Structures are given as C-alpha cells and as structure tokens.
Amino acid sequence: MGAPQACECSYGLETRPCCGSSFCAGYLEVPTALKADDINLQQQANNRLAWRLALVALLFTGFGFAMVPLYDVICRVTGLNGKTNAVAEAVDANTQIDATRWVKVEFLSHTLPGSGLEFSPEQFSMQVHPGEVIHTTYVVKNRTQHTFVGQAVPSVTPAVAAPYFQKIECFCFSQQTLAAGEKRAMPVVFVVKPDMDREVGVVTLSYTFYEVPA
C-alpha cells in the first residue's frame, strides 16, 4: 500500500529507472517527483476506493430504511415492545379456564385534547380467569358539530403480558366515522391466555382514539 513510487539510480551523470532492483546495486537511489503517468495511476486508485466507500455509505442508507421493517420483525420475534395483536383473531373455544387464578384487567381510554370526543370504557376494571372469554364495551361520543373520522390504537401493559392478551374482536385500527352528536358502543372480546407468567397480576388495555386527517 502507499503511493506508487518512481525513483532513479544516479551515479555521476547516468540515470536509470530502478528502485530496489539489482540494476541499482552500488548506485544511489534517488526518489523523483511523480511523473504524469504515476500521478494518473494514483488518481485512479484513489477514485476506485472512493467510489467503493460511497457504495458503503449508500448501503448504510439502505440499512437505515431497513431498520423500519427490521424493528417490527425483532419486536415480534422477541416479544419486546409489548405490541398486542392489531388484527382480531379467533381463539380455540376449548381453552381450559384456569379457575385457580385471577388476573385483574384494567381499561384505559385516551383522546387528544380538543378533539371534542368523549371516549371511555364501560368498565374500568374487572377480575378474570385466564382462558375465560370476556366481553366488554368502549363507548365513544362525538360532541362536535361535524363528522369525526378516526381510529383507535391499542396498547397493552406490561410488555411481558402483551403476547398473552388475545383480542378476539376489537375496533383496533379500523376507521370509524361518527356523525355530529353520534354515540356508539364498540365491543371488545378478549381472553387472557392461561400460559401467561403467574407473576403478572394486572394487565392494562389502553385505546387511544386518533382523528384521521381527511
């Protein structure tokens, strides 16, 4: 590695191209300034490496964008981030109910201030058995004078409980259109899977109702 080097053997008035070759034994090797060809070679070598490094930078830009799906994949595979299922799924009705154990399920509701929406769960808290299919309702009322189009985003805490909180029917992410003054009851059907860690005593389901921009 290093710059291609030209040099000359200088002995009296005689000069020959050499550099470490047997021609120069006994002669004085003198490095000369790079000739045009050598400069050209140098520039070509520099440009080649520079383009390769630019490619590396480009690949890492791709990596930055790839972090988006990667993030979801890693969250799903590791169960971190506590993402509960966004799409309702049916569950085996024959799941054993674990009557030896109670789990407290709490319900939260959020709207953005100034949205003009009243949004609350029918029940704020209940005791359930793991394996038991539970029905409950959230009520939303549009107190404004205009139509409200929105969707609700769910979240479950603690994160370790999220994979075990199975929603069979919910209103997650589906767009809801509420006329001015309209009130609607939205059902949530869920089951707490019996194989959830016994140390988890409370699970909280939270919905945030966002307005979807027109």
Partner 1 sequence: MAHDLAHELPLAGAHDAYHPSGVMRWIQTTNHKDIGIMYLIFAVTLLLIGGAMILAVRAELFQPGLQFMQPEFFNQLITLHGLIMVFGFAMPAATGLANYMLPLVLGAPDMALPRLNNWGFWILPPAAVMLVLPFFLGIFGIGPGAVDTGWTMYAPLSVQSGWGMDFAIFAVHMLGVSSILGSINVIVTIFNMRAPGMTLMKMPLFAHGFLVTAILLITIMPVLAGGVTMVLMDRHFGTHFFTAVGGGDPVLWQHIFWFMGHPEVYVLLLPICGVVPHVLTAFSRKNVYGYKAQVYAMWGIGVLAVIVWAHHMFTSGMSVGGQLYFMYSTMLISLPLAVLFFCWIATLWRGSLSFETPMLFAVGFIILFGWGGLTGLVLADAAADPQYHNGYFLVAHFHYALYPTTVMGAMAGVYYWLPKWTGHMLDETLGKVHFWIVMVGFNLTFIPQFLVGLSGMPRRIPDYPLMFAEWNMLSSIGAFILGVSHLLFIYNVIKCIKGGPKAEAKAWEGAQGLEWTVPSPAPYHTFETQPTIE
State the residues that interact with partner 1 by CB under 8 A: 1-3, 5, 31-34, 42, 45-47, 49-50, 53-54, 56-65, 67-68, 71, 78, 80-82, 86, 151, 153, 159-160, 173, 208, 210-212
How far apart, in Å, are the Cα atoms of 141 and each of 28, 173, 212? Answer: 96, 17, 16
Rounded to a whole number of angstroms, the minimum distance from the CB of residue 80 to partner 1 is: 5
Nearer to partner 1, 92 or 199 (CB): 199
φ/ψ of 37, rounded to 5, equals: -60, -45
What is the C-alpha separation between 74 and 60, in angstroms, rounded?
Answer: 19
Nearer to partner 1, 12 or 20 (CB): 20
Determine contact, residues 85/164, Cβ cutoff 8 Å: no
Nearer to partner 1, 31 or 187 (CB): 31
For residue 19, is it left (φ>0), alpha (ψ between -120 and 50) or beta?
left
Rounded to a whole number of angstroms, the minimum distance from the CB of residue 169 to partner 1 is: 19
Nearer to partner 1, 29 or 122 (CB): 29
Nearer to partner 1, 114 or 127 (CB): 114
Q: How does DSSP classify residue 144?
A: S
Rounded to a whole number of angstroms, the minimum distance from the CB of residue 211 to partner 1 is: 8
DSSP bridge partners of 106:
125, 204
Rounded to a whole number of angstroms, the minimum distance from the CB of residue 202 to partner 1 is: 16
Rounded to a whole number of angstroms, the minimum distance from the CB of residue 76 to partner 1 is: 13
What is the C-alpha separation between 187 and 168, in angstroms, rounded?
Answer: 10
